[in-house]
Structure 1
Amino acid sequence: MTSRLEFWQGNIASAEGALAAGCRFFGGYPITPSTEVAEHMAVKLPKKGGVFIQMEDELASIASVIGAAWTGARAMTATSGPGFSLMMENIGYAAMTETPCVIVNVQRGGPSTGQPTMAAQGDMMQCRFGSHGDYAIIALCPASVQEMYDLTVKAFNLADRFRVPVFLMADEVIGHMRERIIVPETVENTGRPAFVPGTPPFKPAAGSLIPGFPEFGKGYETHVTGLTHDERGYPCATNPGLHATLVKRLVDKIESATEELADFDVINPDAEQVFIAYGAPVRTVQQVIADHTGKNIGFLRIRTVWPFPSHALALFRHARRFIVPELNLGQIAREIERHTNVPVMSVPKLGGDLHTPAELAGIWEAKT
């Protein structure tokens, strides 16, 4: 397999990753700082035989993506904070109907319209819990232009495999930076679980929690509803036992695969002071480590934030403190606290600027 070198912006890399993964539908509405994803798809998708539609708003955007996914297309949208909020009801619908789709959120400062051109990570809890009810999703966090490409490809494969919305939770820093990237000639394409004609469309195969996918247009006459439904897809919203069984399966199909889905790096697992980061702050921690060669600085770098890889925390057996820099007020730091007895120090930063290496180094040195 051959590859080529490119010098791309992060948002362009995400769009190119989607195209390489076989995305053939994009429904979106322009919003800073994600607009370049839509602009690039508008130019490139028709040349690939795909469809780009600028919808009237973000509610319609995610609805169009769900509809396209049910015709068998790999489908995606891209947005930022305010648009993401508008998508939440239909994201819950996608979770309930087990619709595979990809949502790119290039995060910006909030709440409300906030800081359209500045970086943030304030939507991390929203992507996990933003819609009502109990459900589970998958969220990936890139820290480089290369990962904007690679993790977009991965998002499509995971969405298809688990029949679930998958989020690429980027931020303005990563979305707008430009770096050298290695573009492979081909990428992995896992496809959706096969549907066996004649079986109930929402009945998982034996030994699985995930049903086969009966795409529209194949004559399967599948009924799809956001109401609580039985394995035939028919509404059955007043049966407590059926509802509990369905919702538990929607959650368990993701959370039971937490260790398999986990994607993280461990640096210096015997360290006592350990940084934990995802997205743009990863780069600052990497610089701290590079500036302190020979120092025992621990680092847990997370790519798959949801489901949260809590088992990774136990790999730092001598940890006396976890230091968590985030571009929010400590959203994932709270999740880490739920899973460990090690003291957790949240290092929040708002306003759009990254933590500096000096800031993080000073915190690490204060307790060493």
Structure 2
Amino acid sequence: MTYRARVFALYAGTPGDTLDAELVDETIDLPRPQGDQLIAEPIYGCWAGNMTHALQRRPADICRQRNEPKVVLGNSGVVRVLDVGPDVRDLRPGQLCLLFSASVLDAHGYPIKAFAYDAPGTMGCLATRMLLRAHELLALPDGTRHDLARWAAFSGASITAWSNWELAFGTLRLQLHADELPAPHVWGWGGGTTLATLDLARRHGCRTVQLSADPGRRALIERAGVTALARDQFPALAFDEPRFASDLAYRRAYLDSEAAFLREVERRTGGEGVHVFVDYIGQPVWRATLKALARQGVVTTAGWKLGMSLGHLRATECIARHQFIHTHFARRSQGLAAVAWAEAHDWLPEADPPVAFDRVPELARAHADGRTGFYPIFAVNPL
């Protein structure tokens, strides 16, 4: 017995190919599940930044990285189990689950490679049916009171945020206890995962600010209870070291924007600085982030959108007792804790209205152009 699936596939590029890839609409056959495998049908998927990176082949062509001719992307979503292999014990046909992208794990259960991205042999939810393994799913609470499209957005960004915030906030509290710093200032650059982190920080008594140049996204930030700050007040705040050294006009414009940004930080924090800075951007804002950081402050990330290599002066950071947190998604116990807390406390993102599966290529282009919200949803097999 086989299962037929319609998919949007990403094919490998040729060596040196720098053109954005197109998704290919095609039909494939999936085998009946064996061992710990299962067949599921996606209900909703959420387009995530790693999917856009894959189409842009930056920082890598993941098909070539996996040594596979094509990949089906999509590791954030809600699925319904259709069929299970003989070794699957805790999941049953008809059950609703979240995709859990920790595919290749280390000895302690922390992810090394992500399902439907760089983990070989995995396929994602850009498909009407998908073959996956049991540990790549988390069961949703039976009879959940929350919308499934919101859960689809939650499965990637919010679980990443939970793990990252747990470590970042715990690190801050090792240096400054709650009686010393009852309401830390937590700021963020970035998109949906940053907002999920700041929403969690807000719920833990922190004073939160997220920067965005897009008015629609600022409205979404405000609806989440986080203060939105217009990034376009600081138009040249994108640091380029070679240009800074060679272009006087650029240098002056950058320094003016940086000074304005730091004045705003000082004003909003009463001169304390930012205690936790959530930075999913990287190199263009790294200099400003470090200058804005309070003593005993923490910079935290689980991504590398613009610049995989960063530099800083170790002596300065040691004296300031600055801490640098790097995480990659979450381990299973953290995913389970995040789901339980979200169900109880309504900690789920405000998702975009779902678009039809046929329109996934349009959605991909819109996301790459910054024309979506933080959590773009596509409906595959809506209930």
- How does the TM-score come out when normalised to structure 2? 0.29
TM-score normalized with structure 1 length: 0.30
